[in-house]
Structure 1
Amino acid sequence: MAEAVMFPFDFTAYLAKARTRIESALDASLGPERPNQLREAMRYSLLAGGKRLRPILCLAACELTGSDSENAISTAVAIEMIHTMSLIHDDLPSMDNDDLRRGRPTNHKVYGEAIAILAGDALLTRAFEMVALRSPNVPKDRLLKVVGELSLVAGAPGLVGGQVEDLESEGKAVDLDTLEFIHIHKTGALLKASVVCGALIGGADEDLLIALSTYAKGIGLAFQIVDDILDVTASSEVLGKTAGKDLLADKSTYPKLLGLDESRKKAKELIRKSKDVIHPWSDKAAPLLSLADYIINRDR
């Protein structure tokens, strides 16, 4: 049972270095294009900080294959663009109607609903440009697989389907199967794609892809369970977004259905199983093992 990384690894330094690389790449991804208001709205949300967990997972998975993670940097940026699009759209009045994201006003509060929608659309399409046209050292067959993976995740089989199910479930008593469907599709799908796409860029074989997919599915659901827990236990100041909004919207969550203690147990068990799957890859798995611990221990 893999309870912790058993070999020397400075995760704090790794995380800081990875975030610096990603922030630089994100900043460089949006040039001085017109119209200015659209570019500013895109940059406002894309460069607003955050954990950058998804792109870091992408780089770490690429490293696990033995490949240079620089080959995955454009894909990592693309994944963060898709994630940012989903946040902009989720915050809209017609969706979750939120005013705060990453510690500051949401995109539509600053630029208006129309520009916020278009900024999200522009980030989504730019993501595919990043993969297809800005990854010169990656074989085209690998890029095609990544484009296919991200297309599924960003559409009805992933984020969009999860969001629709989430909207339709508001104010209703849903069972655990439905709640898990929402979490796996709305949140877990992109976390899983982050790992899988990094592995595809690195040329992972079938066995490693299966292991990483299992790992990623587990941490993706655990991540959202922790989010559900934090929504009722942390403050808006700590979270950087509105706390307690699931309760106000009468949404079903893991704490609501299972209670806080059982929810914590489920998240920990998912993380344990995820780590067990990739532990055989020894020190190459250290970043991914540590990222799993980071997910379960985070406070925002």
Structure 2
Amino acid sequence: MLRGLYTAASGMITEQRRHDTVTQNIANINTPGYKQMNSVSRAFPEMLVSLVGDSTLGTRRIGKLNTGVFVEESLPSYMQGDLTETGKNSDFALISNINLDNPATGEPIPFDASGKYVTEDGEIIYRPAAFFSVMDTGGNVRYTRDGSFYVDPDGALRTMQGYQVLDSEGNAIVLGYDQPIESLQIDRQGNLQINGEAIEIQMGISVVTRPQALFRDGNGVYLVQDEEAAGIRALQEDDAVQVQQGYIEGSNVNLAQSMVDMMAAQRAYESNQKMIQFYDRSLEKAVNEIGRV
């Protein structure tokens, strides 16, 4: 009986965390460049139940028993968000559709809508994703899909959080006083131009080959603890990545699906709650009534 109580309690904790993840997605539905988080649940290791102590039958296996579930991790989905036109020259959006070839067949990998592919051996391959390279106030390189930038009084291109936007050489992009933002243009490869003339500055766009190695750092940016493990490289000419000026990428949260997931988590939480109440009443009866007899 106590085992069932613990199983129901683990289910409640799992559904609570799942519910928190969904509400976080809904709260950021209007956040530029936000990537939806998905909770991954996993069952506790199964236990083998055996009958022991019978001298005539010996040890007999009855079957397996599962003892609960827990949230293993929350994985972001880096699928492309919808673009919204703003008309501002300092707003930029990335359109990333990088493909990979299957090493075994040489054919393009058919990624699913979430940018994931599972091989026959169970290996998970993620679609590479492109990000703007920025530098925080501590001098650390971060990555973001939020391209709502502005130009400060010194001519530096910055994010809304004040982070410096980097070029392809890793230096901060600084426009001169004679280069107003209204005269700034950018081509699809990220090369900056002033009044139609190239200024030999390319916006720093990094391709993360294994985006599952990214960690959220708040303020719409991601950090990487091991760049080699994440497979970070500079944007190449043959990469299917485009920069759109005057647009920002919206959140990729599916509001309708999020509402369904939130209601499902709430119903599952209530079901586990009722099971705990049932076990509580059963234990109360066992102590107060059966024990008295």
TM range (shorter): under 0.3
Higher relative CO (Cα under 8 Å, sequence separation at least 6) belongs to 2
Structure with greater proportional strand content: 2
Compare the two structures and name the one with the higher helix fraction.
1
- TM-score under structure 1 length normalisation: 0.18
Normalising by the residue count of structure 2, what TM-score does the alignment of the two structures yield?
Answer: 0.18
